[in-house]
Structure 1
Amino acid sequence: MGELDEIYSNYAEEVFKYLMCLCHNSDLSEKLTQETFYQAVKSIDRYNVKCQFGFVK
């Protein structure tokens, strides 16, 4: 689980801020952030390692 913790640490704040911009509700943004990472972990077996991970800046 170390890699997943690292991914969460690196991206959770960015995901949260993005969601805050969309819904302007911190409680909802926190729940959606958690759901985002839950769904990512749930479907990790479908991840294509050739794809870039992260946000496009």
Structure 2
Amino acid sequence: VQALEGKDVPAFVKIPLPVIDNSNIDEYLARAKDFPADGYIYSPYDEELFKKLLAQK
């Protein structure tokens, strides 16, 4: 969205991969009914983290 608004953003942004382990598996399983039928598991993201990553040059 920032690029579409004319803001200068990096061409490549390294996004940290989510980690699913024993400490958070219950959170993922509780949301399993919300996942798409194809089985793709998505993680909650921190919008502030993405803003920070996009601001880096």
Fold shared by both chains (TM-score > 0.5)? no
Structure 1-normalised TM-score?
0.30
Bigger relative CO (Cα 8 Å, ≥ 6 apart): 2
Structure with a larger share of its residues in helix: 1
Structure 2-normalised TM-score?
0.30
Q: Which has the larger radius of gyration?
A: 2
